[in-house]
Chains A and B, each alone.
Chain A
Amino acid sequence: MPSNFEPKIIAFLCNWCSYAGADLAGTSRLKYAPNIRVIKVPCTGRLDPLFLMKAFEVGADGILVSGCHPNDCHYRSGNFLARRRWMVFKDMLEYAGIEPGRIHFSWVSAAEGARFVEVVNKVTDAVKALGPFGKLGK
């Protein structure tokens, strides 16, 4: 693994909490690892697991999915439904040989700019330690 490896991490952030949390981190001038590429989604419940696989297909080294804390969902149950899907999905990916450290899930509220920074740095460190993902299917 090259020592200067900078992973590409796709961050799927929900419109109502985590995206606003990222915004707060920015307006608060907090510094965090520059490796994430943010994709805003209406709700984590909107995420088709296909999106996550597609991210790997097009060259992501890691993925972060972040939404509202339980009971804070704008649509009431989107994050609960998503949580169930992820439970099975992440185990399936692991079984298929994609290291569990490449895909992360978190809850970050709109008021948690500092927590967002912490999450992103943690995810970046974890993916960095794993090295490049390579090509899906290879």
Chain B
Amino acid sequence: MIDKLKSRVKELLEAKTIGVFIGYEKGDNPALARPVMITAPDEASRLIYDDTCVAMLSKYLLKPEVKALDRRGVIASYSNLRAITGLIQEHQLTRNDVYIISTSTNDKITNLYDEVIEMSIKDYKSDDLDKKITEMMKLSPAERRAFWNKEFSKCIKCYACRQICPLCYCNRCIADKNQPQWIPTSPNPAGDFMWNLTRAYHLAGRCVDCGECERSCPVGIPLMLMNKMIYNNVKSNFGYEAGFDATVPPPLATYNPEDKENFII
């Protein structure tokens, strides 16, 4: 199937349907493919697609230097498709900006891709987290606080989670603002807590469950254990899962007068 991808990309570039194709090539690290921008038809032969192709490509769609090469083609796994849906929904992209080659057909995401070249790689799965979250909720608040303090205290404020997150695209992040400084910049207990909870909350109703933040975290904080709880919470409160429908507003940017309010005293 990789040959089909190579020849399709070559055709698309030759026909000038796209100006750039974002895919993967073999990098220095044998365990991790390197994202690559192909602009010349002959270079399409560099493309690979296997289990080492895990980095999210949707992030590159927003880079100014890539935008300049319009129209952008991309190979999109399931997670990538959802991320791109989120970006379209939040007006960072229009559907016409991107030419999407999906690696799978999916009933839940309809009409989002231009063509399908079926190739299966192992995709991130967060299903086993639900059990862990239930276990977490059985602990006392003090135990949970101790757990998260221990985890967050590992944070070195490298912001890799933010850099890799497909839905984190602000030009100026709240964590970089210092007037006023809402989030302490140094790796201290309060700063670690503020940063990690703020990041998690910013993804409420927007997280597409791709697991990239946790994968990229150099100190191994179980970020998805936090994100998935919020994901499930939004799903049960508002019946909403991000990354499937670009035409509806994100749940925390809208309201329903009939929302439950049993928590209000």
Residues in chain A within 8 A of chain B (CB atoms): 49-50, 53-54, 57, 70-71, 77, 80-81, 83-100, 104-107, 119, 122-123, 135-138
Contact = CB atoms under 8 A, between A and B. Distances in A.
Given A53-B197, A92-B233, A136-B189, 17 more contacts: A53-B194, A54-B182, A57-B193, A71-B257, A80-B257, A81-B254, A83-B255, A84-B259, A86-B263, A88-B201, A88-B230, A88-B234, A92-B200, A96-B148, A97-B145, A136-B194, A137-B149
A88 B252 contact: yes
Contact of A137 (B147, B190, B259): B190
Interface string B142-175: 1111111100110000000000000000000010
Nearest to B205: A88
Interface of A is mostly: helix
A57 B264 CA distance: 24
B216 interface: no
Contacts of B229: 91-92, 95
Contacts of B226: 92, 95-96
A91 B197 contact: no
A50 B257 CA distance: 24
B185 interface: no
B259 A80 contact: yes
A94 B230 CA distance: 11
Contact of B144 (A53, A97, A119, A122): A97
14 contacts: A50-B182, A53-B197, A57-B184, A57-B190, A80-B255, A83-B259, A84-B251, A89-B204, A97-B141, A105-B263, A106-B264, A122-B265, A137-B149, A137-B190
Interface of B: 136-137, 141-149, 152-153, 174, 182-184, 188-194, 197-198, 200-201, 204-205, 226, 229-230, 233-234, 237-238, 251-257, 259-261, 263-265
A95 B237 contact: no
B237 A88 contact: yes
Contacts of B147: 97
A53 B201 CA distance: 11
B111 to A, nearest CB: 28
A92 B142 CA distance: 14
8 shortest interchain CB distances as A-B pairs: A97-B145, A137-B189, A97-B144, A80-B255, A137-B193, A99-B141, A136-B190, A137-B190
Nearest to A93: B197
B56 to A, nearest CB: 24
Most buried by B among A50, A70, A122, A137: A137
B204 A92 contact: yes
